[in-house]
Amino acid sequence: MFLLSFLLIPIIAAIVLLFIKQDSKAQVVAVGAALLSLFAAIYIITNATGAFDAAWLPVLNSRFVLQTDGLSKILILLTAISFPAIFIATGKNIVENKNVFLSLMLFTQAGLMGVFLAGDALLFYFFWELALIPVYFLCSIWGGEKRIAVTFKFFIYTFLGSLFMLIGIILVYSKTADHNFLIESFKHANLSSAQQAIAFALFFIAFAIKMPIFPLHTWQPDAYEQSPTAVTMVLSAVMVKMGLYGVIRWLLPLFPAAANGHAIMVIDLSVIGLLYASFIAIKQDDIKRLIAYSSIAHIGLMSATLFTNRIIGTQGVLIQLFSHGINVLGLWIIADIIEQQTGTRSMKNLGGLAKKQPTLAILLVAFAFANIALPLTNAFIGEFLMFNSLFQYNPWIAAAAGVSVVLAAIYTLNMVQKVAYGNISESVDKMTAPNKNAQGVLIVLIVIVFVTGVYPQPLFELTKDTLQQLFVK
């Protein structure tokens, strides 16, 4: 029953927000709801909660099942941290019709929570779409200049992907013993190997578009660049995790044989994408695009590791899901502060941040270190485990993927150098007093970065049960 609160809190708040015209009040309601979800998330992590199960569509035998395990909990925690952080950090930004904006954001949150909680395939599909639709409106209304075309491309891409998943769901459903959508029945569906391969492909397309895996990534950099930054944060910190979550929760357990058979293809594509994105990131001048490509690279590494199907690799991914979210969130918040105060995202026009705003520059450097997975930061432990797993699978692939670490250092440090050091440029000179709220959020995030970097044990504990389910038969 308690799990229902993850859906109800944001949805109720979102509906209430539609009737609050005053910006400051709307902001308070949104932050309040987001913090309430965060407390709820902390509660389910520290206390055991039962699954929620109610009849939904008796005709189809679909049930409204919400359940949690380590994988869900870690992503719920990430979602629950991200939303208040985003609301507080970008609260000062001027947005037209702010209450509608915040309301749509909270609907997105409800959709995301639903995706991570659903234990029934049809329900999962439902939330999968529900998370997408508000984002479509958020980007198209409040986005940049080319927003309409870019968002439409993003929408059609992901919608087509999820339609393929729907066919997959129908296919597996028709082969389950007692015709229902529960994940357990799906695992024991009676599929021939040919059918399993088809179903695998259908699910995989949906997840691959969402992650995204090369060559299905083309929607992403444009969408990240054109979306309002608050939405970009949601997209890259939380929403891409939907794809990885789908792989871990549905794809690998449902079609183990097919996943094994296609592993080499997926790993190759992921590694190609990883290198490709890293090289492109080096050439970027726009901070937002740079972070976008860097994010594609990180996701590529995670998806490659998942398909090696080894326990240490999967452990690494589970931790990295959380760490990557926190790190990229930090980078986006810094990028947003810079853009809001200087009016530019082009690194050519930036420089001298360290002299003008030392605190912000220090935070930037810290998050940059986390982005290249330096020891002591949270990303290190995850990447270490992932490379370990890749190496066990195939040393050559690990070596190829390893190049990306070097490339990541190049583009990240290059950005730090151009933005933070050098003479104070004209646009940086315009920067006014630091944005206290945003810096507060950044400090909280950086604490998380180092605490989980030095002492990741709680994250290991949290995800133990998922690994057991996946690997101990």
Partner 1 sequence: MNAIIVSALLGVLLMFCSWGIKSERLQKNITLIGFLVLIVANLAQLNGWYVIDFDTKGMLSFSRFGLYANTLLFIVTFLYIWINAEEVDQIGHQSGDFYALFFFILCGASILTSFDNLLMLFIGIEILSIPLYILTGADKKNLLSNEASLKYFLMGSFSTGILLLGIAFIYGATGSFRLEAPQIVPSKGFAIEQYLLSAGLILIFAAMNFKVSAAPFHFWTPDVYDGAPTVFTSFMATIVKSAAFVAFVTVFHGQAKSLGNSWELLLSFVIVATLLVGNITAVFQRSVKRMLAYSSIAQAGFMLFALYGVSDFANEGLLLYMVVYSLATIGIFGVLIKMKEYSFEAFHGLGKSHPLLAFLTTVFLMSLAGIPLTGGFFAKYYMLNAIMVAGAGLWLVIVAILFAAISVYYYFKLIQAMYFVPGTPAIKEVDKIYTYKLLVVAILLLVLGVFPNLLFNYLYF
Positions in the binding site for partner 1 (CB under 8 A): 57-60, 125-126, 129-130, 133, 137, 140-141, 147-148, 152, 155-156, 159-160, 163-164, 166-167, 170-171, 173-174, 198
Task: Give the shortest CB-242-to-partner 1 separation in angstroms.
Answer: 15
Query: Which of 52/125 has CB closer to partner 1?
Result: 125
Query: Which of 62/327 has CB closer to partner 1?
Result: 62
DSSP output for 187-249: HT----HHHHHHHHHHHHHHHHHHTTPTTS-THHHHHHHHS-HHHHHIIIIIIHHHHHHHIII
Task: Give the shortest CB-125-to-partner 1 separation in angstroms.
Answer: 7
Query: Which of 18/376 has CB closer to partner 1?
Result: 18
- SS3 label, residue 57: strand
Query: Which of 55/433 has CB closer to partner 1?
Result: 55
Task: Give the shortest CB-59-to-partner 1 separation in angstroms.
Answer: 5
Residues 6+ positions from 316 with CB-CB distance below 8 Å: 305, 381, 382, 383, 384, 385, 386, 388, 389
Task: Give the shortest CB-307-to-partner 1 separation in angstroms.
Answer: 24
Instruction: Decide: 299 and 193 in contact? Cβ < 8 Å.
Output: no
Query: Which of 181/369 has CB closer to partner 1?
Result: 181
Query: Which of 197/424 has CB closer to partner 1?
Result: 197
Query: Which of 254/459 has CB closer to partner 1?
Result: 254
Instruction: Decide: 449 and 366 in contact? Cβ < 8 Å.
Output: yes
Query: Which of 209/431 has CB closer to partner 1?
Result: 209
Residue 346 — φ and ψ, nearest 5°?
A: -80, 125
Query: Which of 146/283 has CB closer to partner 1?
Result: 146
Sign of the four-CA dihedral 415, 352, 333, 448: positive
Instruction: Decide: 350 and 418 in contact? Cβ < 8 Å.
Output: yes
Query: Which of 134/352 has CB closer to partner 1?
Result: 134
Task: Give the shortest CB-470-to-partner 1 separation in angstroms.
Answer: 28
Task: Give the shortest CB-164-to-partner 1 separation in angstroms.
Answer: 7
Task: Give the shortest CB-110-to-partner 1 separation in angstroms.
Answer: 12
Q: Which residues pair with 182 in a beta bridge?
A: 120
Task: Give the shortest CB-140-to-partner 1 separation in angstroms.
Answer: 5
Task: Give the shortest CB-138-to-partner 1 separation in angstroms.
Answer: 11
Work out the number of other CB atoms within 10 angstroms of the CB of residue 59: 5
Task: Give the shortest CB-129-to-partner 1 separation in angstroms.
Answer: 4
Helix axis angle, 395-420 relative to 378-393, nearest 10°?
Answer: 150
Task: Give the shortest CB-190-to-partner 1 separation in angstroms.
Answer: 15
Task: Give the shortest CB-133-to-partner 1 separation in angstroms.
Answer: 7
Query: Which of 61/439 has CB closer to partner 1?
Result: 61
**Encoded tokens for 436:** 């206290």
Query: Which of 258/287 has CB closer to partner 1?
Result: 258
